[in-house]
Chains A and B, each alone.
Chain A
Amino acid sequence: MHPIALQEGADLDGFRRAVRRLAAARAAPDEVLWSAGAPSLFGAAAGASPADGAPVRLPQAVGRLIETVVCHSDPERYALLYRLVWRVLNGERALLDRHADPLVHRLERLDKAVRRDIHKMHAFLRFHTVPDPDGGERYAAWFEPDHHIVEAVAPFFVERFESMVWTILTPKGSLHWDRQRLMSGPPAERPDSPADDRFAEGWQRYYESTFNPARVNPAAMRAEMPRKYWANMPETAAIPALIRSAPARVQAMLEAEAAIPRRRTPEKAVAAMARQAPANLEELNSLIRRSEPLVPGATQAVTGEGPEGAAIAFVGEQPGDREDREGRPFVGPAGQLLTAALAEAGIDRNGVYLTNAVKHFKFVQRGKRRIHQSPTAGEIKHYRWWLLTELGFVRPRLVVALGATAALALTGRAVPVLRERGPMAFDGWDGFVTVHPSHLLRLPEEAERRKAQADFVADLRRAAALARGRR
């Protein structure tokens, strides 16, 4: 006979050491006498001893099952688990797939019970505020789990309430989190009923109000929230009265005659609802400025610039680093190039409308530099409604797409800019496609750049002529 004494609660380490020793001794399950309830060794380091055998290799699913089942309060849990380990080690590696095997079936039920207990503790535990000597916020809770799951629930509460200071007391152990470290403590006694702030009262009102008396079904409620949990959930105090009064409330609703509205129809307000679209460019721009960038990071939205009714509207890609800081379009290096090219083509920058397909700067930070990132097709589409509404207010004779992003925004398809540069019909607008001025900045060869610059200026002249031609 091999007597094994494990500690009170979920003694996973003790069980693991025992399994190694028993496996090394090839001890059959019937030769082992398990007992749990040895006094807990708080603080005592129970490390490996030379008498332990080598680690036992088990399928992952078996390891996971053991971790849960050791939490169960069934005194037979260790004996059942060792029976499983023994069979797995003796030729039945895939035992856990045999869900119909009586041992597997029983262990699965234990596993399920522990998981349910953990889930219910996550769900039904209620924190209340407690006085804090340092004047901060402190929270405490009392809960009575069926199984030894206090350690198992800790990660959930730490993750969710990492920024709070809290204590959880249970008859099976306690937890304390001080925003830095988690401390486990001994079993606790039920504390005196707490005097909570008014949130508990507010929560009860919410609970009562969200209940629909026409659907009363206490059995369904109790199946999911058995009575044993009610004692520690303040809102459940309302349950008896809610159930009692439900039939009368429903009867009253069914008997009540449809009432004549006390207030007259707010005709003006109903009519005004339809006029919610921005009425002018200023209102639209204010919407754009209030909105969050789709990709976080930008300092501000950069809206268009130039007179309404301008003959030509130029649409670029998105604001760059300078534009993002200054809040104006085309003021960075590419913008300066555009300004120069416009002058060369005989176009007054102040007489045209300048804007971007995307209104926020998107970048990655590299050290101190913010490196421009092209917007994705989805992002371009997201900003499209604004762009089209904006052009609707400006009403230019010709819309010039500078580069592929603008062309995509205005046509809804990917346009190979160098091949298709020139006049093009946009969705509802006479359009023209040419390169973005930043294209010129990226060309390495001086000769190539000069040629591209000349082509760009020629495009601008052509666009200006087109816009004039339609005057």
Chain B
Amino acid sequence: MIALDEDRIMLRDSAREFLTDKSPVSELRRLRDTRDQDGFSRDLWRGMKDMGWTGILIDEANGGSDFGHVGMALVCEEMGRTLAASPFLSTAVMAATALRRSGSEEQKKKWLPAISEAKAIIALAVDEGRKHNPEATALKAEMSGNAFRLNGDKSFVVDGHVADQIIVAARTEGDPGKKEGISLFLIDSKSPGISIERVIGVDSRNNARIKFENVHAAGTDALGEVGKGYQLLENTLNAGRAGIAAEMLGVAGESFDRTVAYLKERKQFGKFIGEFQALQHRAAHIFGELELLRSLVLSACVALDKNPDTAGLSVSAAKFKAAEVVKLAVSEAVQMFGGMGMTDEIDIGLFMKRARATQEFLGDAGFHADRFALAQKF
């Protein structure tokens, strides 16, 4: 385990400053209330490029800043604190991970610099049902000659509505439920046969339901080895899971900080409500849970930096705990804010809505609990 060194502390502080300034919670309200067509600000995305975040997991030769997963988590946490909307997780974390690890030379040369330069948005299409379950991938990719024909449906494709390219998990052989036979393809979102339905979520963030009807994919569009994409998919997802867990730490941490501030300002019965032990102990308990979560997020990212192939256990521990803690923090926040917590005027509700979506994204607590246990053979 590590303590943050000076460089990382600087990264965190500059992220906090940048996001508080450029993307405070009011920005999410603006996107929501104006029904912004992208659901995020392209100016902000370019600003993130200038900060070096779009290339945070990309090597310097491809224009990246290569801060690693610990750096990624620090940025994600701050994004959680201001509920900043951007394609960071889909593009800079997951697509960059998949391409860097298994892209062909041509794919790398074309897309990694494009991601670093904020010139491409790439979404990952995995889920097909109401629950995240990569092994259950059923979308079919049938080989015909040197090419493939894709048929099937994807859902909860984060940033799918604005993506230039889509990394799609498809089944080239075997039955849904099997790890073997899964392949990834990187295809243009404008390809004939792709229809994209934008979905606006409870958290005012956007994802897409995507239909693939006889979509053509060339052999060179495959990402990694055909039929053996599961480990690549896992590594890609694990980077995303660690990132979202870090964002959840930020969502939970910020709603907690706001709650503690409220406890010191709201008076009832002639006292600050923070003087009541019933609330003090609950607040102290949440603080402890946040500390435990912080350690798990950090240890997952240290593990990813060390060896992504063996980080699954740590990542699942972090995502599991993140789901539990964020739920606790935002529920208690609404309760302690009382009636005000139920109003749209106060931001706390926005944190609770984002918390709900992050719990589902890339596997809920039950999914990760199961993976954690299976990794330890129980």
Do A and B make up one complex?
Answer: no
